[in-house]
Amino acid sequence: MLGLPDATLACLFDLDGVVTQTALVHAAAWKETFDEFLRERANQTGTAFVPFDKVREYDRYVDGKPRLAGTRSFLAARGIELPEGDQDDPPTAHTVNGLSNRKNALVLEMIEKQGVQVYEGSVRYIRRVRAAGLSTAVVSSSANTVQVLDVAGIADLFDARIDGVIAKEQGLAGKPAPDTFLAGAKALGVAPARAVVFEDALAGVEAGRAGHFGLVVGVNRTGQAQALAEHGADIVVSDLEELLGK
């Protein structure tokens, strides 16, 4: 009674926004990073300061994507060109890497201060999935996945991990490309058609659809149920616990 196709052998879970409430932390960190940059840019150019919209622009340009891709996407949407810079750029550098490093530093600071809250319904669902004999993997664009899992105390919920660190090591394209989810299925030894993807980000459900998985479950945390369906979710729920008993 898990709401899954009978042929399902594995479940692939995004982390931020599906299992943990860290999507809110990421949104806050992106807003602080971009607002600081945009305000300084407005002062230098004599133009109006238009703050980062942590709902609309977060969902459209950065949510679910690798950090650098999110930075590039938002800047392009605003018509702003910055040098790429280097991965070791300081957080104060006005480069794509510098802004991305600033955002990451803020996320780590927030996690250290606030800890990590989980979605209890998701944790209960994953435990039921494992009790039913299905394999599980966490598939996240975040390079901080290990830290988040450890702080939240839920590393034991997953048989495999594909995250931003592993994606970089293996040269995997980030969401909305299906590469990381396909790598998750491969790590579990399961064909995509027999695995189910759980995602809250538009880029993530696009990745699930592109990978031809057995089912793509959209998790609607921010009132974007219709958009999740339009981008590739087969079904949309507000919490994974809704699937129990189906």
Query: What are 62-85's pLDDT values in tens digits?
Result: 988 889 999 999 999 999 999 999
Q: Which two tokens stand for residue 106?
A: 């803020």
Q: Would you call 239 a catalytic residue per the annotation?
A: no
The whole-angstrom separation of Cα 163 and Cα 108 is: 16
What integer best gives the mean pLDDT of the chain? Answer: 94
Q: How large is the average pLDDT for residues 47-61?
A: 93
Q: Would you call 14 a catalytic residue per the annotation?
A: yes
pLDDT at position 65: 87
pLDDT at position 185: 98
Q: How large is the average pLDDT for residues 159-173?
A: 96
Residue 23 pLDDT > 80: no
Question: What is the pTM for the complete model shown?
Answer: 0.82
Catalytic residue among 6, 14, 150, 156: 14
Catalytic residue among 16, 59, 63, 89: 16
Superfamily covering domain 10-21+117-243: HAD superfamily/HAD-like (3.40.50.1000)
Confidence band (pLDDT; 50, 70, 90) for 246? low
The whole-angstrom separation of Cα 122 and Cα 118 is: 8
Give tens-digit pLDDT for 26-43: 889 999 999 999 999 999
Share of the chain above pLDDT 70, in %: 100
